[in-house]
Every structure is written in C-alpha cells, then in structure tokens.
C-alpha cells in the first residue's frame, strides 16, 4: 500500500464500529479539595471544591479565562495546584509539594488539536500509550479501539491521509485503548465543522457510556454541554458559580450573566412588587424575589407573534408591528416594534411566512421563558 497517498476508493464517510463493543473499564472518582492557582496576579482558580463520581460525565463550561482548562491541567498532572489537593479514588495525586506525573495516573487525555504523531501510522499512534503491554497485545488492543471508532481499515495510513473527523476518531481510539478509568477532554470537538461535530460528539459519548469511564470535559459551548453531560459546572473568574443538570442551569440560572450565556434574550427593566414584576409589556411572576428594581430576560423563543385578524387577542397580548424578518433555515428571526418599548423585541419563529415587515401583530409571552433578577444580583 502506498503510504504517501490515500488509496483510491477508500471510504470517506463517517462509519463507526458497532455499539456495545468498546471495552469496559473501572471508573474512578475525582476530588478537588480547596484548589487555588494563580498566573502572576491573575487568580485562575479560587478555592475549588468538587467531587466527580465514578462513571459520571461532567462538563466544565465557561468563557475563555474562566479557569476551566487550568482545572483540567491539574487533574491531568500537567500542573501542580499552588494550594489545595487533588485525589483519585481517595489517593492524593496532586498538591503543592506532591505531583504524580501524567503517565503514572492512568488518566486518558484528548485535546482539541488531536496531538497525533505525524511520523507514525494510525496504528502506531494508538499503540503509543500501550507501552506496558507486549507488542502483540498492544497491537491487538489498538486494533480493537480502531475497530470501535470505525477506522481499523485505516490502520496503516498516516494522519495526514485522514480527514479532520477521522483524525479526531484516531485521537479518541488512542485515548480509550488503555481503558482509562478517567478521561479528560479539552474542547475535543471545536476544530470540526458543525455537522461533523454533532456526529463525532454523539458517538464519542456513546463510547464513554459503554466504557463506564468517568469523564471531565471542557467546553465553551452551552449546547454541547447540555447534550453530553450528566452535570454541568458553570465557571466564572476561577470559581464554580453554578453546579447542576442542563435543565437546572437553563431554567434556573444563578444570575443574569448565566442566563445570557445559555440563551439569546430580550432585556427589559422592571419593578418587583409583592412577588410580581411590572414591565412595559405586562406583569409576570417573580416568586421569591424582593421588592425593588429588576432586570427581566425574555428568551427569543418565548416571544409569540401572531398577525391581527378578526380573532380576539391572546390573553395579555400587546400590539406590535413587524419591522424585519430574516430567514435562518429552521426558524426566522423576527424583529417587532411593541407598544411601550423603545427597542424592538426579537423572536425565533417557525413558519413565519405570514409575518412580513409592516404586518400588525399581537405579541404575547411564554412564562417559562421569562427570567427575573433583582438588580443587586447583577
């Protein structure tokens, strides 16, 4: 086989191995205890306390500089914490005066740049982390991992012969071949285009479920975190500001910044009086909120727009006029001027053909998509 050109007729479509064939591992627990870390004057991590249960898939979510990659590097053993301790199954692996090196931790790593060795074949790349095994057993285990990701037929090719999606699958095979009890993933799908990313991500998570491995994944993409994680940790300024399921973080964001991180929202000013918030477009529930000034978020998908006809107005609806409509594929983004507001409201609407600019409309709101924050929470 020619090693410098991709053989003609080689399949390029994503074709994964049969589900249920990834080898099982013994999942392990991770615990971060009072972890803090500085880069010069910048506090990258600020007293992090966190336990990740065996077999749990957890996403560290946040904007650049929030501390998520630093926490992953401490778990990997690439850096020692400047204060605090890191444990795996109760055994101390990291502290200011103690650092178990990465190769001694039994932890798998998967990075966004794939980190494949260009001078090694696909098979040799996957065998690289199996040095504790004999050559024949290492080869067998590497081929099993490649079979599961659907690339056994590419074993003798070099990385540059492969597409980006195929290279990512080789990186995954290399990570799972030693059957680690923990897998750390740093933005592993960010280099792939959207359609390919969805496929690779979904199959990767299926493999992790089969292995029953514990996984800690870093991402800046809220939708990705919601799709893959048992639990999401939202980080900001080196702290975990919210810890919960996707549903909890979406419907009960801890503050305004968190709400805007997960959703496109219209912003309104309001006044809370007796657990109700009064806004220019109506009065809405504000259960548990104290009286005073408030910021109100209305998600784009929570804005309902219907043309004015002979039918009566929906309950609580305001009058409006469509200003602009932009086709986005599955939905249209509709800007609407609404009585009582200086700025238009934006909405994501399916089947918006009857909402041409200039159309007079009723505007109403889904209470589930209205979030209220006291001003002192900002």
Q: In this structure, are 137 and 38 located in the same domain?
A: yes
Of 2-11, 233-242, 325-334, the range with the lowest mean pLDDT is: 2-11
pLDDT at 246: 96
Q: In this structure, are 187 and 216 located in the same domain?
A: yes
Q: In this structure, are 57 and 178 located in the same domain?
A: yes
* Residue 150: inside a domain: yes
Q: In this structure, are 154 and 293 located in the same domain?
A: no
pLDDT at 24: 58
pLDDT digits (tens, 9 = 90+) for 46-60: 999 999 999 999 999
Task: State what percent of residues in the chain have pLDDT above 90.
Answer: 70
pLDDT at 197: 81
HEC string of the chain equals CCCCCCCCCCCCCCCCCCCCCCCCCCCCCEEEEEEEEEECCEEEEEEEEEEECCCCEEEEECCCCCCHHHHHHHHHCCCCCCEEEEEECCEEEEECCEECCHHHCCEEEEECCCCCCCCCCHHHHHHCCCCCCCHHHHHHHHHHHHHHCCCHHHCCCCHHHCCHHHHHHHHHHHHHCCCCCEEEEECCCCCCCHHHHHHHHHHHHHHHHHHCCEEEEEECCHHHHHHHCCEEEEEECCEEEEEECHHHHHHCCCCHHHHHHHCCEEEEEEEEECCEEEECCEEEECCCCCCEEEEEEEEHHHEEEEECCCCCCCCCCEEEEEEEEEECCCCEEEEEEECCCCCCEEEEECCCCCCCCCCEEEEEECHHHEEEEEHHHC
* Total domain count, the chain: 3
Quick check: 90 pLDDT over 60? Answer: yes
How much is the average pLDDT of 150-177?
90
Q: In this structure, are 286 and 361 located in the same domain?
A: no
pLDDT digits (tens, 9 = 90+) for 359-374: 999 999 999 999 999 9
Q: In this structure, are 81 and 181 located in the same domain?
A: yes
* Residue 15: inside a domain: no
Q: Which residue has the higher pLDDT, 168 or 214?
A: 214
pTM of the model: 0.84
Q: In this structure, are 101 and 191 located in the same domain?
A: yes
Q: In this structure, are 141 and 288 located in the same domain?
A: no
Quick check: 250 pLDDT over 90? Answer: yes
Question: What is the CATH number for 167?
Answer: 3.40.50.300
Q: In this structure, are 179 and 283 located in the same domain?
A: no
* Residue 259: inside a domain: no
Q: In this structure, are 162 and 219 located in the same domain?
A: yes
pLDDT at 2: 41
Q: In this structure, are 270 and 315 located in the same domain?
A: no
pLDDT digits (tens, 9 = 90+) for 210-219: 888 899 999 9
Residue where a domain terminates, one of 216, 251, 286: 251
pLDDT digits (tens, 9 = 90+) for 207-244: 888 888 899 999 999 999 999 999 999 999 999 999 99
| Structural domain containing residue 313 | 299-366
């Amino acid at each position: 086989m020619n090693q410098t050109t991709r053989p003609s007729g080689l399949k390029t479509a994503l074709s994964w191995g049969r589900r249920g064939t990834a080898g099982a591992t013994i999942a392990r627990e991770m615990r971060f205890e009072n972890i803090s870390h500085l880069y010069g004057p910048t506090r990258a991590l600020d007293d992090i306390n966190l336990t990740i249960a065996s077999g749990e898939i957890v996403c560290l979510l946040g904007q650049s500089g929030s501390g998520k990659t630093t926490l992953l590097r401490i778990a990997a053993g690439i850096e020692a914490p400047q204060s605090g301790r890191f444990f795996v199954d109760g055994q101390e692996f990291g502290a200011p005066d103690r650092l178990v090196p990465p190769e001694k931790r039994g932890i798998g790593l998967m990075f966004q740049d794939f980190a494949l060795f260009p001078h090694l074949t696909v098979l040799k790349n996957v065998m690289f982390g199996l040095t504790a095994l004999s050559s024949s057993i290492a080869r067998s285990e590497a081929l099993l991992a490649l079979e599961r990701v659907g690339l056994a037929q590419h074993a003798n090719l070099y990385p540059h012969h492969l597409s980006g999606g195929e290279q990512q699958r080789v990186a995954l095979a290399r990570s799972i071949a030693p059957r680690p009890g923990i897998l750390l993933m740093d933005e592993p799908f960010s280099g792939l285009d959207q359609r390919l990313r969805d496929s690779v991500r979904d199959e990767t998570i299926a493999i992790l479920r089969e292995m029953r491995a514990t996984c800690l994944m870093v991402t800046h993409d809220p939708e990705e975190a919601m799709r893959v994680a048992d639990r999401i940790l939202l980080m900001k300024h080196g702290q975990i500001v919210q810890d919960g399921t996707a549903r909890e973080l979406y419907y009960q964001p801890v503050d305004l910044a968190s709400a805007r991180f997960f959703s496109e929202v219209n912003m309104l000013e309001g006044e809370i009086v007796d657990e109700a918030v009064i806004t220019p477009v109506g009065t809405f529930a504000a259960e548990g909120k104290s009286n005073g000034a408030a910021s109100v978020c209305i998600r784009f998908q929570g804005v309902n727009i219907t043309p004015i006809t002979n039918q009566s107005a929906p309950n609580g609806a305001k009058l409006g006029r469509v200003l602009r409509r932009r086709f986005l594929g599955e939905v249209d983004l509709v800007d609407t001027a609404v009585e009582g507001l200086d700025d238009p409201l934006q909405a994501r609407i399916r089947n918006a053909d009857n909402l041409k600019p200039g159309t007079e409309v009723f505007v109403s709101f889904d209470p589930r998509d209205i979030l209220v924050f006291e001003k002192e929470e900002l």
